[in-house]
Amino acid sequence: MRTNRPSVGGMSTENSQGARGALLLCRADPDSVAPVAQLLRERMLLTSAGPEWSVLVPEGKPWTHGGEPVDRVLTGWATALAVGVPWPVLAVWWDADRSGYTLAVGFRRTVGYVWLANGTPVGEDEAMRTFAARLGLDPVLDTQSLDDLTRPDPEADARARMRGLLAVLTRAGVTLPAGFVPGEPADRLREAARVQPDVQRIEWTGWRGAVRSELDVLERGRLGPWLPWAGTPRARALATAQLLAGLPLTAWGLHRRSPGWLVAGGLLLAHGALGLLYDLAHPRD
């Protein structure tokens, strides 16, 4: 399910760029998120956002290069992070014209919602219900609060809508650090992240170290039976599915010149190829 997003002018103006900001919320502890985040090959700051959540703050601003919209970059990153891990990834973003979110969970189709700067909802009500279900939110209290965000409200602008969304997430355990304010530009978000006592800097260290670290984390988690060396039909099926999913994503990223989708497709192809090559090199009896 995808949100119907309008084409809004002015995306490349200086004011629009200056107002852009983004966060990646992961339902996992920072030590589990760090090795996976390295595979994005982007410099980021990582800190905790509650007992069961972490938040990634991009240090760079790829959406300012080549006119790539911030929501498209963040959707690609969230999709890439969610591949092959047992926890969801929520991208929240804003610019001078819009704000919104994208939720990625494994191989499921992403779900998202958008509000215009004046708070006008632009999306499908069903997206909110799917969002609540995938995060395991309260089907009565939380769903009602989310439904309120899809209704017209002349007194609620895009920032207020995003604050409302984050208020619902606090009941799911999300506690953003001080200074992480919806609508703030990326530079201020980075400044707030750098002063957190548990902040980690995520940097690319090369494929061998990053993949090894990621696999170590996955092996300790619930995905052990799905990993290449498990020798199970599920492991081989997963590797094949990753290759089949990675090809169109990579082609889409090349066609749209989208770094986020290229990363997502590249990770799927790399994971799938690794699984099949390992299986071929270690035939089962």
Q: Which two tokens stand for residue 281?
A: 């090199």
Torsions phi, psi for 96 (to 5 deg): -70, -20
DSSP state of 151: S
Q: What angle do CA 91, 97, 99 make, to 5 degrees?
A: 25
**Better-scored residue on pLDDT, 182 or 208:** 182
Q: Domain ranges for the chain, please list them.
A: 14-201, 223-281
Please, what is the average pLDDT of the chain?
A: 79
DSSP string, 156-170: --HHHHHHHHHHHHH
| Greater model confidence, 181 or 9 | 181
13-34 per-residue burial string, b: 16 or more CB within 10 A, e: under 16 = eeebbebbbbbbbbbbebebbb
pLDDT tens column, 61-112: 878 765 678 998 899 899 888 876 789 999 999 998 999 999 999 878 899 9
- Give the pLDDT mean for 162-181: 94
- Asked whether the beta carbons of 134 and 108 are under 8 A apart, the reply is yes
Q: Give the integer Cα–Cα distance in Å for 40 and 130.
A: 26
Contact 266, 252 (CB under 8 A): no
Amino acid at 214: E
pLDDT tens column, 133-145: 999 999 999 999 9
Beta-carbon contacts of 145 under 8 Å, excluding residues fewer than 6 positions away, are 164, 167, 168
Task: Please give the average per-residue pLDDT across 119-138, as a whole number.
Answer: 93
- CA angle (98 as vertex; 95, 101 as ends), nearest 5: 95
More confident residue, 187 or 257: 187
pLDDT band at 234, cuts 50/70/90? low
Distance CA 164, CA 150 (A): 11
Q: How, if at all, do strands 200-202 and 54-58 pair?
A: unpaired
- Length, in residues, of the chain: 285
Residue 85 has a pLDDT of 79
